[in-house]
Amino acid sequence: MQNLPSDYLERLKACMVAGTERLNRMKVGDSKSSDSIGWVRYGQPSLLLGRRMDEINAFFESDTFEWTANPKFGFSLFTVSYMRLYALMNHRTGAMKGPLSNVAMDNFEKGMWQVAKANTKLAEAKRDVWDMEGSENHHLASKTCDLLATQFLRHIPEYADQKLDDGSTLAQQYEVRRAYFLRWFDERAKHGQFVEAGSPSYQGDSINALFNVHDFAEDEVLRRKAEMYLDLAYAVMAEETLLTTRGGPKSRVKVGHEYDGGFANDRGYNVLFNAPGRTFTPLGENSRTTSDYYPPPAIVSLAKDTQGRGIYSFTTRWPGPVMEGKGKRSGDPDGQLWRTLNPEHSVLRHGFCTPNYILGSAGLDASWLDDTSMGFRWQGVVFADDPLSRIGFEVAPAKTKDWHGFNPFFSVQDRNILITQKWAPVAPNPPTTNPAHLRVYFSPTLDDVQEDDGWIFAKDGAAFAALKVVAGGYSWTPAWKHADAITNDTKAFITLKEENAPVILIASQATDYQGSFDAFKTAVKAQPIHYADGVLRFETLTFHGSIKPAEVNGQPVNLAPARGYDSPFIRSEWGSGLIHIRKGDETLILDFRDPQNPKKTRGAPVTDAFPPGVGSTPPVIFTR
């Protein structure tokens, strides 16, 4: 880590200190086994800083300490943290030997073996990389821990020759799991990275699991692929992030996350890039603080230079649709949570970015109802002026206490114009979601919201927005009012009265209208809207709902473009494994084409294979 930038090292130290604070609430004498994850997460930075070392080791040495196991997956989300602490501090291979006592280390290994012995199955390890157990974050947490557990335990004499409950050996398991992840990185680089795309919490869980592979895998090629994969992940985050707030479409966004600070990018992003344009606040973060990973200059510049990126559209094709007949509960021999993704089908993620707002949505094929990324999508617009300022869509979940709603929207977007309607086909939603009405959230931190001639206009900082419910009207719950904080009393929504009415959302920079909110309102109201027989025509867009593909400028939207990544900063032909990244004059090539020799090239000369490195896409600007 000595080669990391000095300012980054300072942020890592601040996060490590912040990570110790919650340990003050914990005492060995009154801790329960369920407190083990707290001792692991807050104990790791404390051990590294030399704080309460005897007490922490005493808990890890005790019978109260246990590796938690998930009855569905074996190694759980929590065990990603367990694995990191052990990998760092064990006396056999750890880079930071010393803080963990011998007895504590033995207890970690005992717990790791118990979880692996009962749950790590060779038959599952041999499955294809497009087979996934449960949700993506659980799958990656479980399977990366399976990989590292078999890697570590097979070298420990006490466990090396023992057999797991399925009769396999640790050596057998390790080789198969190593081969699995070597191919997993290649396939996902070619066909889209994350199912839980842009999720404020779940994608972060997956990335933390991949950090463990990057930092602790024995196999050098596997570590290199993990590093290149993280580079791609942060490049995508950067082009979709306005200062510290990630825009664009998202999957698995829990109710609440789209309203509060949890909707910002994961805290690791702010640590890496110093919360671009905002004040960095150190928070406990255990993966980056103990990793030598740092993105290449092209990605750092893309993340930090939020004013110099220009104005641009992005599209990415990411996985989600399931193979016909290969969904959950389809009689899979390894359990009902397994399903098989179709690598040739994808969700088209689309966004339009300016220095003052990002508008994003997901493009879907209506015939693909079984989609692992369909759980509570988010789409809408985020603004630069305040990290909490946004306008976003949701469909009320089936139950008051449930946040799940599947495939809630059907949409089309052309640059800064989005048309959407409630979709939410009944299966797999419970029947109580039919009918379900679209709701639109208006953050109380917006500068102003006004209703005028059937439109709802919003102003925030140097950006404007306009929203039109095309048919049936709407009602407020509660009425919008400006507030500096978000509470239950200040969360304002409109709820559509007509179940399948389409909605138009427009975003614009104030400079497009000489800074005049009134001029913007006048221009928008002057635009004709044609809606008949379920077909909406507005500006460049023709929207048919889920009946047939939408059109932009008279041409059907192509949900499977030739490029899997296409923006001024990231370019890759679908399925190629060759990715060109550029910001200004900084370049990066990630080449996954040769499975045995992945290549990463920084600073290559600019050629036509690279994207332009700056955005220059004009938005739609209305005139009277």
**What is the tens place of the pLDDT at every residue in 114-140?**
999 999 999 999 999 999 999 999 999
C-alpha 435/C-alpha 292 separation (Å) is 51
Residues 220-244, mean pLDDT to the nearest whole number: 97
Instruction: Classify residue 288: in a domain, yes or no.
Output: yes
Tell whether 151 is covered by a domain.
yes
Please report how many Cα atoms fall inside a 13 Å half-sphere around the Cα of residue 614, on the Cβ side: 8
Range of the domain at 39: 6-295
Residue 376: predicted pLDDT: 86
Written as one letter, the residue type at 48 is L
Tell whether 125 is covered by a domain.
yes
Q: Average of pLDDT values for 288-309?
A: 96
| pLDDT tens-digit series, residues 51-103 | 999 999 999 999 999 998 999 999 999 999 999 999 999 999 999 999 999 99
pLDDT the model gives residue 237: 96
- Interatomic CA distance for residues 283 and 303, integer angstroms: 19
pLDDT value, residue 430 = 73
Look at residue 46 and tell me if it is in a domain: yes
What pTM was computed for the model? 0.97
- What does the pLDDT read at residue 509? 98
Residue 549: pLDDT band (50, 70, 90) is very high
pLDDT at 499: 87
Helix (H) or strand (E) holding 441: strand 438-442
- Asked if omega into 435 is within 30° of 0 (cis), the reply is yes
Could you tell me the pLDDT band of residue 434, with boundaries at 50, 70 and 90? Answer: low
Would you say residue 31 lies in a domain? yes
Q: Is residue 551 part of a domain?
A: no
| Rounded average pLDDT over 428-435 | 72
Residue 178: inside a domain, yes or no? yes
Angle at 435 between CA 430 and CA 441, to 5 degrees: 100
Asked if residue 112 belongs to a domain, the reply is yes
Sign of the Cα torsion 282, 283, 287, 289 reads: positive
Average pLDDT on 312-326 reads 95
Domain count across the chain: 1
